[in-house]
Amino acid sequence: MRIQNLAVTATLVPVLMLAGCGEDKSADVAASSPGAHKAIKPSLTEAVANGTLPGADAPPSDDPVINAYYNYRVAFDAMMRSGGRSTEQLAPVMTPAMFTAISQQAKYYRTKRLHNTGLTKVLWAKRVLHAKGVLVRACYDTKQARTVDSKGRSVLPANTPTRWLDQMRIEQIQGRWVVDGGSTTPQAC
């Protein structure tokens, strides 16, 4: 029972840490941003990871805010699959405060010798303007991204949710959009 509680805690660490990350400095940028729209890229993380993304230099969406979210998911998946050893891809896609929080999760994965197998799959993502700035609401599925220990045994209870709703703040820093934190909740989306 202790290992299950530990595994659930390890999975939810980013949820708890991200809620307070960053400052809402993007409200002025949000006012000048185009209206919210929905982008559906269900296999983007798979395509990027497998190197099969058509037109590798072409962005996955015409919305740079949505692209910032997808870049974050791809970088985060890479960190989880590496067992917390690969973190250099995280810094360009998130604010420094969020990078610090995610680095703590990476350290936890390294210490406990955990890693993910497979990839998360973003089912949909859309940009919304909010009083706190620009948000991306996205639904992703973790059915294929199991968290396992060094012996390949699953460390999550069988009833762990696989559908999650992200609500991430996106901020513009030095001309590029990056993730600044937010919240993640289990939800059938």
**Residues 140, 114 contacting (CB under 8 angstroms):** no
Phi-psi region of 3 (alpha: psi -120 to 50; beta: other; left: phi over 0): alpha
**CA-to-CA distance for 61 and 94, rounded, in angstroms?**
18
pLDDT tens-digit map of 152-161: 999 999 999 9
Report the number of distinct structural domains present in the chain.
1
CB burial class (10 A; 0-12, 13-18, 19+) of residue 181?
A: buried
The domain containing residue 37 runs over which residues?
A: 2-186
Residues in the chain: 189
**Residues 170, 22 contacting (CB under 8 angstroms):** no
**CA-to-CA distance for 164 and 156, rounded, in angstroms?**
15
**CA-to-CA distance for 175 and 115, rounded, in angstroms?**
33
pLDDT tens-digit map of 12-29: 444 333 434 444 443 334
For 113, other C-beta atoms within 10 Å of its C-beta total 12
CATH code of residue 48: 3.10.450
pLDDT tens-digit map of 37-94: 444 444 444 444 444 333 334 456 789 999 999 999 999 999 999 999 999 999 999 9
Can you read off the two tokens belonging to residue 90? 């995280």
